[in-house]
Amino acid sequence: MMQGVFYGVGVGPGSPELITIKALKIIRECDTIVLPSSPKEECRAYQIVKESFPEIDEKKLVAFEFPMSMNKQALDEYHRNTAAALLELCKSGEDIAFLTIGDPSIYSTYTYVAEILKDKGVECQIISGVPAFIASAAALNISLAEKNEEIHIIPGSGDVDEALKLPGTKIFMKNGRQFPKLLERLKRLEEKGQISVKAVSHCGMECEKQYQSAFEMDENISYLTTIVVKDI
């Protein structure tokens, strides 16, 4: 029996219209679909696919509740346990599609699990999806870079002060505990006329919300918010 393939399938930022034809093809062909949270009704990746491919419920669905933790030891253990469970499915010949919001190569749990499975001899493939920052730029009707401008992607755990010193466009994602500090810095620089700030929460979803200034945001902004900062 041939060993199955482990796919990381990007389903886009939220709108079912932004899931790719290739992603749907892989999902249709795979034996098992891995959901990155449970229950499935509250899993955004599942909801996106469900609208374009209602037959997903006829597939074998496996849900893992990945912890939102900064504890490396705990995360490593969880990734190992998840990989061990999926390895058995791959050994039995099942192809597996691990659904991820946006693109699997950008801050995705898939990559940690895939690295473990690769070491076990499993074939792993990434099926790219539309990243949230690309969809957010389109929603805001702005360009991210022109001429020789640089683009920097900064996670919520990054150094805010150092990030804001970077040239070109700064994109802040996965906002966490440091967001109040980031928001204070953005308001101060925007008030001085040094930067422009725009953002999108829940891009592509029914609850999408756009912000045209840092002063329109507050500290309770959603974790699923992409902030685009450009020098003036």
- 206 CB-near residues (< 8 Å, 6+ apart): none
Return the pLDDT at 174.
86
Looking at the fold, whether 111 and 220 belong to one and the same domain comes out as no
Please state the domain count of the chain.
2
Looking at the fold, whether 92 and 173 belong to one and the same domain comes out as no
Return the pLDDT at 1.
61
Looking at the fold, whether 160 and 107 belong to one and the same domain comes out as no
Burial pattern 93-129, b for ≥16 Cβ within 10 A else e, equals: ebbbbbbbbbbbebbbbbbbbbebbeeeebebebbbb
Name the DSSP letter for residue 26: H
Closest by alpha carbon to 65, among 48, 78, 84, 54?
A: 78
Range of the domain at 27: 5-127
Euclidean distance between CA atoms 213 and 15, whole angstroms: 24
Which amino acid is residue 59, in one-letter code? K
Looking at the fold, whether 96 and 150 belong to one and the same domain comes out as no
Place of tokens 């505990």: 177
Looking at the fold, whether 109 and 219 belong to one and the same domain comes out as no
Looking at the fold, whether 22 and 119 belong to one and the same domain comes out as yes
Helix residue ranges, H only, 4-119: 21-29, 44-52, 72-91, 109-119
Return the pLDDT at 177.
82
- The CATH number assigned to the domain holding 47 equals 3.40.1010.10
- Residue 79 CB: number of other CB atoms within 10 A? 19
Euclidean distance between CA atoms 113 and 155, whole angstroms: 20
Q: Which residues of the chain have pLDDT under 70?
A: 1, 67-69
Looking at 91, 107, 127, the residue that finishes a domain is: 127
Looking at 127, 150, 173, the residue that finishes a domain is: 127
Which amino acid is residue 55, in one-letter code? E
Looking at 127, 161, 193, the residue that finishes a domain is: 127
Closest by alpha carbon to 95, among 158, 25, 149, 147?
A: 25
Euclidean distance between CA atoms 137 and 158, whole angstroms: 21
Return the pLDDT at 176.
78
Looking at the fold, whether 11 and 103 belong to one and the same domain comes out as yes
Looking at the fold, whether 98 and 168 belong to one and the same domain comes out as no
Looking at the fold, whether 69 and 154 belong to one and the same domain comes out as no
Answer for the pair 10, 28: CB distance below 8 angstroms, yes or no.
no
Euclidean distance between CA atoms 170 and 144, whole angstroms: 9
Looking at the fold, whether 40 and 59 belong to one and the same domain comes out as yes
Euclidean distance between CA atoms 164 and 173, whole angstroms: 14
Looking at the fold, whether 177 and 117 belong to one and the same domain comes out as no
Looking at the fold, whether 163 and 94 belong to one and the same domain comes out as no
- The CATH number assigned to the domain holding 138 equals 3.30.950.10
Return the pLDDT at 71.
76
Return the pLDDT at 194.
97
Return the pLDDT at 178.
86
- The alpha carbon torsion through 117, 66, 126, 135 (nearest 10 deg) reads -170
| Token representation of residue 159 | 């150094």
